[in-house]
Amino acid sequence: MTQLQAILNYQETDKKLYKLERELAGSEERKEYVKYKKFLETAPEKLDSLEVKATALKSEAAELVKKYEHTEETLGDFEHLDELITGGADIAFYKKKAQSIVEQLKKIKADLNALAANIKATDAEYQKLKKQVIAAQKQYAEVSEKYKAVKSARESERKEIETALAEAAKEVPSAMLDVYKTKRKEKIFPVVGELTGNRCPFCSMEPPLAARSKLTGGGSIECDNCHRIIFGS
C-alpha cells in the first residue's frame, strides 16, 4: 500500500468520526449546554464590574454631598448682609455672589439626583443578574446532564471508529500522521487529497510549478489557499 493510499484510507475512516463530532456539536443539547456554560463563565466578571461601578458612584455621591454642604455653608456669609450694606458695602456684588452660590447648589443637587438614579439602576441591574445566575446554575446542571446523555448514547459508536482509526494508523508513516492530526485539530477536514489536473482537489487553486515539482515520487505540499495537504499521484 502506498503512503497516499494509506493516509486516504485513514481519512475515510476519520470521516465517520468527523461526522459524529459534527452531529454532536450541532445538537440542541450541546447548544444549550454551551449557552449556559458561557453565561456562567462571564457572569462573575460582570457582577464584579457592576459592584465596582456602584462603589464608585456611591463615593462620587458622597463627595457631592460634602460639596453641597460646604457650598451651603457659604450662605452664612450673608447673615449680616444688612449691616454690611449699612456700612457702605456694594449690594450688587453680594447679590451677584449669592446668585452664583444658588446656581452652584442647583447644579450639585441635579448631579446628586442623576447619581442617585444611576446608583439605583446599577443596583437593579446587579440584582437582576444575580437572579439570572442562580437560575442559570440550575439550568446548566440540567442541560449538562442532557448533553452527557446524548454523548453517552453514541460513545460505543465513537469507540468503534477510534479502534478502526488506530488500526488504519499502523499503515501511515508517523510523520505524515502527525501532520494530519495537527491539521485535524485546526478543524480542517478533509485534510489530504490527490492533485487533480494540477489543482488542489479542495479549493481548485493551482499550486506554483516549483511546489508541484515536489509532488513527484509520492511527495506532498500544503495548499497556500486552503492549507490542506496535497499529494502527487
What does the domain layout of the chain look like in residue ranges?
A: 24-168
What is the pLDDT at residue 216? 79
Position 94 scores a pLDDT of 63
Third-level CATH fold of 24-168 = Helix Hairpins (1.10.287)
Record the pTM.
Answer: 0.72
Please tell me the predicted confidence (pLDDT) of residue 140.
97
- CA–CA distances in Å: residue 99 to residues 64, 90, 96: 20, 15, 5
Q: What is the DSSP string of 104-150?
A: HHHHHHHHHHHHHHHHHHHHHHHHHHHHHHHHHHHHHHHHHHHHHHH
How high is the pLDDT of residue 28?
Answer: 97
What pLDDT is stored for residue 86 in this prediction? 61
**What is residue 100's predicted lDDT score, i.e. its pLDDT?**
82
- Rounded to whole angstroms, the Cα distance separating 57 from 50 reads 10
One-letter amino acid of 213: S
Count CB-CB contacts under 10 A for residue 44.
10
What's the first-to-final CA gap in the chain, in angstroms? Answer: 13
Q: Please identify every stretch of the chain with a pLDDT value under 70, giving residue numbers as ranges.
A: 1, 75-91, 93-94, 233
| pLDDT confidence of residue 70 | 83
